[in-house]
Amino acid sequence: MNKGKRTYRIMISGGGTGGHIYPAIAIANAWREKYPDAEILFVGAEGKMEMQKVPEAGYIIEGLPVAGLQRSLSLSNLSFPFKLFKSLRKSKKLVKEFNPEAVVGVGGYASGPLLRVAQAKGIPTLLQEQNSYAGLTNKLLAKKAKVICVAYPGMEKFFPLERIKYTGNPVRKDILQLEGKQEVGLKYFGLETGKKVLLVLGGSLGARTINHGILADMEALEKGGYQILWQCGKFYFREMSAKVKESGLKHIHVLEFIKEMDLAYAVADVVVSRAGALSVSELSLVGKPVVFIPSPNVAEDHQTKNALAYVNENAALLLKDDEAVGKIKETLDGLFAEEGKAEKLSKNILKLAKPDAAEKIVEALEEIIA
């Protein structure tokens, strides 16, 4: 690729959850670091979290009226064809006006219309698949994509082998730099020095089972010397905050969303988390002992597959969703009771980390731009 002094124009589309949005932002940051004059335009779904998170990261985003099909019978499905038509029409307008040299899709239904339009116009497209089980949008777009960047081996069952690049999942750069942040994090979150910190992550929207599991065990956890930094998600924040307040417990810190994840990871002694692709990738870089509680409410149970890739390497523990309530403290006690177990998990999970994923995706993107 002839870099020269050209100003590259890149469109990035997808979203719906943090698992799609933050890798997209990491790719944009890595591209801009290499090409500071690049023009980058994000395209997301109207009303979804990318419309807030992307501008916060310093990028322009356009919204499409696209929405996903509901698996159950729903009146909202009747509007799907109209929203899709409007989204395709707006995508054509955006592509014509922006005239990108490449388009990146990170999954989620928002990327479907834009990449379809780009592919029809012969603009090279790159897909980034975060999970061990490919999403529907990426599977549909893969036929005409120039390259598919994946985070797990064995993805040839979904995509053409010759176009797969095993890059890992890109993550936010601040997570790679945790050294010296523990004291800052303890102060920032109002935590005590010398007490074990349990970091609880259920994803940006929240995880019902994890939240109820912490509720069930929080008194015993506090008595056992833990303080809890708990991201409960926006759907559960009001309920969880009220219950913690009623309990009178002093060391349970409930937050709707944690923006400063580098500080949260820096203070954590142990993490309880869902096994979404972004969480798994970030936690491998953080190198703390992890208990994964995979969500069963995802396509092909892919969170369990994500977690097992680490459990099978003795790099994490797994607690089944239907067994989690009432067993979180028991699992943590077992982890720390076995001498050297926590240290071994930390050491092994670091071996599975891919800290240069964003840079590898930038290289793949360079290759497809003529």
pLDDT at 72: 52
pLDDT at 320: 96
CA-nearest of 279, 231, 364, 229 to 22 is 279
Residue 145 has φ and ψ, to the nearest 5°, of -75, 145
> Known binding site: residues?
17-19, 131, 172, 204, 258, 277-282, 303
CA-nearest of 103, 92, 112, 117 to 146 is 103
pLDDT at 79: 61
Min mean pLDDT across 44-48, 59-63, 147-151, 226-230 is at: 44-48
Task: Please state, for a pLDDT cut of 70, what percent of the chain lies above it.
Answer: 95
- Domains observed in the chain: 9-169+355-368 (3.40.50.2000), 175-351 (3.40.50.2000)
CA-nearest of 203, 217, 211 to 280 is 203
Q: How far apart are CA 14 and CA 229, in angstroms?
A: 29
pLDDT at 300: 82
Would you say residue 161 has pLDDT above 90?
A: yes
For 149-160, the DSSP string reads EESSTTGGGTS-
pLDDT at 66: 83
Taking CA atoms, 239 is separated from 150, 257, 326, 355, in Å, by 37, 14, 19, 37
120, 122, 124, 127: CA torsion to nearest 10: 20
Residues 6+ apart with CB under 8 A from 4: none
Would you say residue 133 has pLDDT above 60?
A: yes
Beta bridge partners of 273: 201, 292
> Known binding site for UDP-N-acetyl-alpha-D-glucosamine: residues?
17-19, 131, 172, 204, 258, 277-282, 303
Q: What is the average pLDDT across 311-320?
A: 97
Query: In terms of C-beta density within 10 A (0-12 exposed, 13-18 middle, 19 or more buried), how is residue 193 classed?
Result: exposed
pLDDT at 5: 53
State the average pLDDT for the chain: 92
pLDDT tens-place string over residues 47-89: 988 999 999 999 999 999 987 655 555 555 556 677 889 999 9
Higher pLDDT, 205 or 10: 10
Taking CA atoms, 220 is separated from 17, 77, 240, 254, 325, in Å, by 32, 45, 17, 17, 13
pLDDT tens-place string over residues 93-105: 999 999 999 999 9
Q: What is the average pLDDT across 102-110?
A: 92
Would you say residue 262 has pLDDT above 60?
A: yes
Beta bridge partners of 291: 272, 317
pLDDT at 74: 53
Single-letter amino acid, residue 102: A
Q: What is the average pLDDT across 153-181?
A: 93
pLDDT at 233: 92
Higher pLDDT, 317 or 205: 317
Does pTM top 0.75 for this prediction? yes
Residue 69 has φ and ψ, to the nearest 5°, of -75, 135
Contact 89, 113 (CB under 8 A): no
Q: How far apart are CA 169 and CA 355, in angstroms?
A: 9
pLDDT at 176: 85
Would you say residue 7 has pLDDT above 90?
A: no
Would you say residue 370 has pLDDT above 60?
A: yes
pLDDT tens-place string over residues 264-303: 999 999 999 999 998 999 999 999 999 999 999 887 888 9
Tokens of 193: 């020095």
Tokens of 55: 């501008």
Q: State whether residue 269 is helix, strand or coil.
A: coil
What residue spans of 224-351 are helical by DSSP H? 237-247, 261-267, 277-286, 302-311, 328-337, 341-351
pLDDT at 2: 47
pLDDT at 108: 84
